[in-house]
Structure 1
Amino acid sequence: MGMNTAAALQTYLRSWNTAGCLHGVAAVSLADGERVAVAGGMADPGLGVANEKDTVFRIGSLSKSFTAAALLQQVAQGRLELSDSLERFFPDFPNAAGISLHQLLNHSAGTANFTSAAEYWPTRMRLAHRPQELLDWAHALPPACPPGIAHAYSNTGYLLLAAIVERVADQDFASYRQQYLFRPLGLERTYVDDGRVILPQAARGLHPGAPWRYAEPMDMSVAWGVYDLASSAGDLCRWLEALQRGEALPARLAALMLDVGALEYAYGFYGEDWTLAGRRQRLAQHFGDVNGFFAFMSVLPGGGGVVALTNAFGSPVERLGRDLARIASGETLEALPPPGRQQPDEQLFVPGRYENGEGAWLELFYNEHGCYARSPRRYDLPIAYPLTVTAQTPQLARAAVLPETLLIEEGTLQWCDAEGVTRRLRRQ
């Protein structure tokens, strides 16, 4: 099975690359130890540097699994209990007496999410912060809800966990992760990214458009302990393997991260239901994003995992990860077709804004380079991407950046997006 599965994964990933839809690196670690990885797109188009299999990407909130593991290492050493109150470390923090480490780990503590604060995007993310300044800012924000009553995803919770590890271990959190996680596990291409250290073979975050541009700048010190890591697809495959094999933590504690069961969020991982080879299974996985980068990782049933890293905002890393998991589970998926060689006919694909009356919209426009579609993605930020057609099906356009299609039928635009959701839009 290993060789056949590996070949199927290679073929599928290469079709994404040929179609122009792979902007980063996707990798699969199979249960038998075999790995498959394919790279595509540009790490830095300004310098003409292409992505390679060991290119380093910012991984956003995938960093949280490392913070959770660092905290659990302190539990393993008897320095902490999961029932410990936040009051032990930050007695003045809102609701501290009612918040446990367990609740911080699974996002049920009700702490405010500092990245949702109104000042985060326009100012805070561009400014240098010391960890204590981040903690002071988070302290001043009103709680999202009382502790223990609801799941409320909060970057503040993991900021507090990082600070607690630093205090208990009596070591700065950056060097702690290097000494007790990266080096022992052989993660040679995983780094704490403060935005000042030069990382080898690091990609730059990009925003697809007409033309493409670099992503909005941010000061990575604002991400301390929460979404501040950069890594390679190979290292993250190794990380998933280490967690599953009990190399990073004792098995009973690693299970608190990976055995998601009916949980919405365990420790450092979401629980998501996927149907693989006809069986519905709940898997530990996480999505991460930080300006211009999307990242995704998931364990596989029976061992191993999938990782998809991109430096192009809007790339469907979750869709790609799910497809790879399906193939690894024995399913057969059709390869993506290559892009067409012709430009859409402006008489068919009439420029303008198309809507479905339910909030979805897509704009068609033309410039000196051809026909483009513009549509919103995460955080409602729009991206633009070129369209091509073939002579055989001039009414069916394919996106040259995303696995999406646009079909014109009797004046209606049928848009099948990268997640496979189809909408019918009318020109306004």
Structure 2
Amino acid sequence: MKRTILLLFVSLIINSLKAQTDSERLNEVMQAATDANIFNGVALVARHDSILLFKGYGWRDYEQKIPHDTNSVFQIGSVTKTFTATVILWLQEQHQLNIQDKLSKYFPKYRYADKITIKNLLTHTSGIYNFTDAHYLADLAEKPFRQTDFWNYIADKPLGFPPDSMHSYSNSNYMILGYIIEKVSGKPYEQMVREVIFDKAGMTHSGFDYAHLSSPYKSVGYDALNETTHQRARISDSSATYAAGAIYTTAGDLYRWNLALYGNKIVSQASLEEAFTPYKGTYGYGWYIEQPPGMKFVAHNGGIWGFQAHFKRILQDHGCIILLRNEMLGFEDYALSLHRIIQHDPNYYIPRKSISIPADSLSAYVGEYQLAGKPAFKASVTVREGNLYIAWTNFAPEQVFAEKKDWFFFKSYNSQIEYTRNEKGGISGFVAHNGKQEFPYEKIR
């Protein structure tokens, strides 16, 4: 018995140290992204239903110098679609609709309604025109947008393709799903999301009308936010984004939504498995699906004026990655690093700030290189469309990004290239830095 208890105690210590190490690595990545001005927001990362990182970075309100903390509230744009799709599945489980129903059952006046099913709307296979076009963004998104406005907007637009023939993302699909939810339930869409999901999941800091939200934790959205520029973004009217993108929330509330899904608190496991099955592409019912060998990830990103959201769930590990930000930059590179860390993959990228180098200056680095003392290991450096690429022996070319003169880095893993020069100032080789290891390459032509 004593030996069993001792082994258990040692195991707990090892697991604790391992989690702590992962937490430090996750924070290192996010702090580096913040320092490089490519992240400003809140990050939450969990594995096995245990939170490894939950922290705010940068500014909730730059002008007032209010920093982010874990209470910050953000708009999440199209991550709203994960909620809309789940309410549809809940209504199906209550036998109030069937996803094979034709749209004509609910909106017979729409001229293509008899060709389109609810499933086509869920999976973006309807062919319906995407109403969030340039005119909508320029003139309509900040104003109240009624259901009649929507139907009038798409009434004369032809289908982009025959329904159920292919996938093409369209916000119109999820606007219509919201209208179906209202017609079937007899309640406003927002009330249904609260009753079916928010209340059951314990999401007490979530809602819809961000323009009129009064909260000390409300984040200011920025079109640009860096060392020299801070430009506030417009705020869309929640009726104009509606079931396709109106929800605001916190990282903590999104994590509660994640846990509610794992606990089957909203819909059955059978409904979730159907939702997490790709249909004519990589999209299911409100989720993008990735299926590498032996694994399955479901995710959705969201982008709306001044805000971006990344919500990814690693099903087999009960993992979750949430990145909420109040500025408009991409985050796929360091989001992948977070994923690799919680999957115990050491090949992850630590963000660095890149600079622009003229294409004619990049030509100096072009050539063939050889690892010192090991002629079988070579590297070919080329320029493509103004970007520098390195191809190692038997590997495809990878782009490298300039951090400063003669210093480049990869975004697919944590490695840097430091070019060396001869007495005349010409490139003589480079040193590949991989963690604490250094590999000197000589230029051979």
Q: TM-score range by the shorter chain?
A: 0.7 to 0.9
Alignment equivalent of 2:195, drawn from 167, 170, 179: 179
What's 1:372 paired with? none
Letter in 2 for 1:132: T
- 1:43-65 alpha-carbon deviations (Å, 9 max, x no partner): 11011111111211111100000
Distance 2:417 2:235 in 1: 32
**Aligned-pair distance for 1:263?**
4.7
Which segments of 5 or more consecutive residues in structure 2 lack a partner in the other structure? 1-13, 364-381, 389-401, 421-425, 428-445
Confirm whether residue 14 of structure 1 aligns to residue 30 of structure 2: no
Contact 1:87 1:93 in 2 (8 A): yes
What's 1:238 paired with? 256
Q: TM-score, normalised by structure 2?
A: 0.73
Identity %: 23
What's 1:124 paired with? 140
- Structure 1's 55 and 92: CA in aligned 2 closer, same or farther, altered over 3 A? same
Contact 2:44 2:51 in 1 (8 A): no
**Aligned-pair distance for 1:199?**
4.3
Q: RMSD across aligned C-alpha pairs, in angstroms?
A: 3.4
Q: 3-state DSSP class of the match of 1:287? A: strand
Letter in 2 for 1:7: Q
Distance 2:417 2:131 in 1: 38
| 1:219-234 matches, cutoff 5 A | 219-234=237-252
Q: TM-score, normalised by structure 1?
A: 0.76
Confirm whether residue 59 of structure 1 aligns to residue 70 of structure 2: no
- Structure 1's 321 and 172: CA in aligned 2 closer, same or farther, altered over 3 A? same
Q: 3-state DSSP class of the match of 1:184? A: helix
Distance 2:415 2:74 in 1: 24
Alignment equivalent of 2:185, drawn from 169, 177, 183: 169
Confirm whether residue 102 of structure 1 aligns to residue 119 of structure 2: yes
More helix by share: 2
Contact 2:233 2:306 in 1 (8 A): yes
Confirm whether residue 310 of structure 1 aligns to residue 307 of structure 2: no
Distance 1:407 1:211 in 2: 30
Confirm whether residue 292 of structure 1 aligns to residue 310 of structure 2: no
Confirm whether residue 248 of structure 1 aligns to residue 259 of structure 2: no
Larger Rg computed on CA atoms: 2
Q: 3-state DSSP class of the match of 1:191? A: coil
Q: 3-state DSSP class of the match of 1:255? A: helix
Confirm whether residue 283 of structure 1 aligns to residue 301 of structure 2: no
| 1:62-141 matches, cutoff 5 A | 62-115=79-132, 117-141=133-157
- Structure 1's 104 and 17: CA in aligned 2 closer, same or farther, altered over 3 A? closer
- Structure 1's 353 and 285: CA in aligned 2 closer, same or farther, altered over 3 A? farther
Q: 3-state DSSP class of the match of 1:119? A: helix
Contact 2:29 2:338 in 1 (8 A): no
Letter in 1 for 2:69: E
Contact 2:208 2:246 in 1 (8 A): yes
Confirm whether residue 155 of structure 1 aligns to residue 168 of structure 2: no
Alignment equivalent of 2:287, drawn from 256, 260, 269: 269
- Structure 1's 17 and 322: CA in aligned 2 closer, same or farther, altered over 3 A? closer
- 1:299-325 alpha-carbon deviations (Å, 9 max, x no partner): 113323111111121141x33332222
Distance 2:416 2:212 in 1: 40
- Structure 1's 407 and 310: CA in aligned 2 closer, same or farther, altered over 3 A? farther
Distance 2:155 2:297 in 1: 33
**Aligned-pair distance for 1:161?**
0.5
Distance 1:76 1:339 in 2: 49
Contact 1:349 1:408 in 2 (8 A): no
Distance 2:47 2:417 in 1: 35
- Structure 1's 168 and 5: CA in aligned 2 closer, same or farther, altered over 3 A? farther
**Aligned-pair distance for 1:395?**
3.5
Distance 1:338 1:145 in 2: 42
Contact 2:77 2:304 in 1 (8 A): yes
**Aligned-pair distance for 1:220?**
3.4
Q: How many residues were matched structurally?
A: 369
**Aligned-pair distance for 1:12?**
2.5
